[in-house]
Amino acid sequence: MLAASKLSCIRGTQTLFNDINLQLDAGQWLYLQGENGAGKTSLLRILAGLSLPTEGEVLWQNAPIAQQRSQYHQDLLYIGHHAGLKEDLTLTENLQALCRMDGLRISDAAIREALTRMGLAKRQHLPARVLSAGQKRRGLLARALLRPAKLWILDEPFNALDINAIADVQRLLKAHLASGGLLVLTSHQPPDLGIDAPGFILNLSVPR
């Protein structure tokens, strides 16, 4: 499904990584490891199509992603370092707007349920501005419950989350894998993705 061939990435004068080849199939995960500045975020953004690799290309279902943007974006859920919420809108409105721009029609009830599952039932009508760091992050992760997407690319999803929320998200990831989804993630807290889900660990090292 997701494949990458000969990816390399040069930033400034530094080669972050070179000649990375990947092949990820349904139900498999890829866990990126590496110190701060190793190039994990850079790789995830390349896989998501948000930035271009210096060399190599990313394939989705055997075709380069640049040639099938709409299809690829349909199948992709990317959650990055950013909070990614409009501070003036409530969580409900934020999610509503995102889904509608993705071409989905999601009922208010569905959104309410997703937020409830992320423990935000009481916060759904507050503007995102006043929420705590962790609540914002939870709100954003609620997208994963609303949008059917085969491939999840998550950049440090556990950041700012408390222990309960981390456990919730882990369950979510496992369920996604179990249902045949693909998962690419990075985190400094090693995730527990269940023993039976097959996957890979890719270790990036900091360029010296």
Partner 1 sequence: MPVLAAYFAALQRDLLLVMRRKTEVLTALFFFVIVTTLLPLGIGPEPDLLRKIAPGAMWIAALLATLLGLQRLFAADHADGTLEQIVLSPEPLCVLVAGKITAHWLVCGLPLVLLAPVIGLQFDLPADAIGILMLSLLIGTPLLSLLGAIGAALTLGARGSALLVSLLVMPLYIPTLIFGAGAVESYIAGLGASGHFSLLGALLILAAAFAPWATTAALRISLE
Partner 2 sequence: MINWFKYSAPSTFYPLAGKLIPVFWTLAALLGAIGLYISFFVAPTDAQQGEGYRIIFIHVPASWMSMFIYCIMAFWSLLGLTFNTRLSGMMTRALAPTGALFAFLSLWTGALWGKPMWGAWWVWDARLTSELILFFLYIGFMALQAAIDDPRRADRAGALLSLVGVVNVPIIYFSVKWWNTLHQGASVSLTKSPSMATTMLWGMLTMALAFWAYTIAVALMRARTIMLEREGNTEWVQHLPDVKEAA
Tell me, what amino acid is at 37? Answer: G
The CB-of-49 to partner 1 minimum distance in angstroms stands at 8
14 binds ligand ATP, rule: CB under 6 A: yes
Cβ contacts of residue 6 below 8 Å, gap of 6+? 19, 20, 21, 55, 56, 57
The CB-of-35 to a second copy minimum distance in angstroms stands at 5
Q: Can you read off the two tokens belonging to residue 27?
A: 């139900």
Alpha helices in the chain (DSSP H): 40-48, 69-75, 91-101, 108-117, 133-141, 143-146, 163-178
The CB-of-161 to a second copy minimum distance in angstroms stands at 7
Cβ nearer to ligand ATP, comparing 47 with 146? 47
Query: How far from chain centre, in Å, is Cα 95?
Result: 16
Cβ nearer to ligand ATP, comparing 163 with 195? 163
DSSP string spanning 170-197?
HHHHHHHHHTT-EEEEE-SS-----SSS
Cβ nearer to a second copy, comparing 136 with 150? 136
Residue corresponding to tokens 């999601």: 106
38 binds ligand ATP, rule: CB under 6 A: yes
69 binds partner 2, rule: CB under 8 A: no
Q: Which does 129 bind (CB under 5 to 8 A by kind): a second copy, partner 2, Mg ion, none?
A: partner 2
**Which of 52, 130, 167, 178 is the binder for ligand ATP (CB under 6 A)?**
130
Binding site for ligand ATP (CB under 6 A): 11-14, 16, 34, 36-42, 123, 126, 130-135, 160, 162
